[in-house]
A and B are shown apart, each in its own frame.
Chain A
Amino acid sequence: MMNKKAWLDYLYYDVGKQHYDYFLGGLKLMPDGEIKSHKWQTYSETCFGLVVGDPENKLWWINQRQILPNELVLDIEIKLDIEELKRKLNLFGILNYSIFDSGSRGYHIHIFSKSEITETIKSFFCKMFGADIVKSGNKTMIALEYCPHWKTGKIKELVFKNG
């Protein structure tokens, strides 16, 4: 399992090239069925003050993150055949992507782009793949990779990576 801090850093420095101070969030399902939400904080607010030795303790609440402006997430609710998904992605010329088991019902396909992706194009892809259209919004959260799902407790794990 990947270190949470290392993954957040990777998103901030490598994927976002420090352009996007993205939001982090946390959801918790209480025993009585109530859902509690942690106040959103940006990456800089959360991670810049950390010192070596204590990060994981301070990041315990995070299990959600904002989808980056140069990122396309296809949230597919049903567990389709992965080979079929790969074929479709290939067909559309999308060569670099990661397919994660969402830890809930379906898959999350994360695709990073070298430039920002408009909402229109994001929603276009969501429609093409039958994915959740809400994930094409500008300020939308998605389950954080390599973390337990807030509802099921299952870890969002990488299933396949291309490129």
Chain B
Amino acid sequence: MDNNQDIEQIGKELQEREAKDKLKEAYWLLIKILNKYLDLKPEYYDIIALWILGTYFHKQFITYPYLFLNAMKGSGKSRALKLITYLSYNGELMNSISESVLFRTAENHMIGIDEAEHIGSKEKNALRELLNSAYKQGAKVKRAFKVKGKEREGYQIEEFNVFCPVALANIWGMDEVLGDRCLTLILEKSAKKEITRMIELFDFDEDIKKFKELVEFCRVISVKGGIIYINKALGWNDYINKYLPNSTTILTLPNTTTLYQNEFYEKVWRTSLDGRYLELFLPLYILADDLGYLDEIIRISEQIVIEKKEEDVMEARDISLLNFISTYQETGDFILMKELTAKFKELEEEEWINSKWFGRALRRLGLVKKKRKVQGRVEVILNFDKAKEKIKMFGIEIKEEPKVEQETLSDKPNEELKNEERM
């Protein structure tokens, strides 16, 4: 009997093919599950599904973006986050998280952080800094712990790998630096009762069970070297150096695999994404390419980036507005909207700012306590405390005016008063 055939190799190739088929099946099942429980913009389903799938292979990527769900209350953020965490690899959902818990849990886990407003606070500085670096491979935290020896006590260093997929949700938005590491998805309130009235019985959902079986199979194959994404990520720089017109490297004839990979790189190269955005979307592109949806994901990602850039401009204006309100002379009375708009317009030196935009912005930021119309003029009572609290999230400290004990006129001697009047 001839034994020139390599069954191990044949088996590995077959396994990889099977795993990729199962991955596609898992992806479609995931889209179905997300559609069952969440009412989102159509393009968000693909992004979330890819992101969840990626958590099972995230160690093969150089960076992995955070997923940030931003919405008003009652828009299904918590449900979305709970579902994403449940479907992700070793997902852990937390409401309040400390830096210490994060780096001790990060390894081999996906972390979901609900009510992530507190991350912007001054007290959570260390956590925020840690999150700022944990989206990239190689981010580590070292801690010393005491060891008792025979003669004397000593210290040993423990190292924690903090690179992990993180999904966050909040109402108020994210500070700029951390927000730059996130794929921001803005959720809207759903009117679909068949979705909003669905109970979160994830444990008993047959589709979820099937999805987990499929994706676990793929993960195991990936651990054994069956599904390899790392090479694609690592090959990006080589592609830029070797095959692009300005390259200084001598061109060599590429083999079939290289040609196939080049097709992927060419598509990525043609996108309008750059720098951080490209870094964030590359893992999703790699996955999408494997599933055969690269073109679609590129289109969606470009749209998200455009929205994000517009959002950034808008946010910058919102920050100015928050700053303006938080430093405005506090009063519990109604203030004329026209007067507020005029002052803000003067400060910003922007012609287009009008009462309509100003009113909407105040409402969007939730700064209006009461509103009334008197003789056709709009007046509002503002929530100054909220403005101050929100502005802190963006790292802007409000300088509290030193409270000067107001001296009453009657306390001053008559002579002094007379002198002041003369001056």
Interface contact A92-B6, CB-CB below 8 Å: no
Q: Pick the residue among B3, B6, B10, B11 that contacts A15 (CB under 8 A).
A: B3
Chain B residues near A94 (CB, 8 Å)? 5, 7, 10
A-contact 0/1 string along B1-27, CB 8 Å cutoff: 111111110111111000000000000
Chain B residues near A115 (CB, 8 Å)? 6, 8
Interface contact A124-B8, CB-CB below 8 Å: no
Interface contact B11-A117, CB-CB below 8 Å: yes
Of A40-48, A49-57, A106-114, A149-157, the one with at least 4 CB within 8 A of chain B:
A106-114
B-contact 0/1 string along A99-130, CB 8 Å cutoff: 00000000000111111111011101100100
Interface contact B3-A121, CB-CB below 8 Å: no
Chain B residues near A5 (CB, 8 Å)? none
Interface check B192, CB cutoff 8 A: no
Count residues on chain A whose CB falls below 8 Å from chain B CBs.
27
Q: Pick the residue among A92, A113, A163 that contacts B8 (CB under 8 A).
A: A113
Name the residue in B1, B15, B224 with the highest tally of chain A Cβ atoms < 10 Å from its Cβ: B1
Complex CA distance for A95 and B13, rounded to whole angstroms: 15
Chain A residues near B15 (CB, 8 Å)? 121, 124
Interface contact A163-B1, CB-CB below 8 Å: yes
Interface contact A93-B1, CB-CB below 8 Å: no
Chain B residues near A122 (CB, 8 Å)? 11
Which partner residue on chain A sits nearest B12 by CB separation?
A121
Interface contact B3-A118, CB-CB below 8 Å: no
Given A115-B8, A117-B8, A118-B8, A96:B14 Cβ within 8 A: no
Please, could you name 29 A-B residue pairs with CB atoms under 8 Å apart, sorted by A? A70-B3, A92-B10, A92-B14, A93-B5, A94-B5, A95-B5, A96-B1, A110-B1, A111-B7, A112-B1, A112-B5, A113-B3, A113-B5, A113-B6, A113-B7, A114-B4, A114-B5, A115-B8, A117-B7, A117-B11, A120-B224, A121-B7, A121-B15, A122-B11, A124-B11, A124-B15, A125-B7, A161-B1, A163-B5
A residues engaging B (CB < 8 A)?
A: 14-15, 70, 72, 92-96, 98, 110-118, 120-122, 124-125, 128, 161, 163
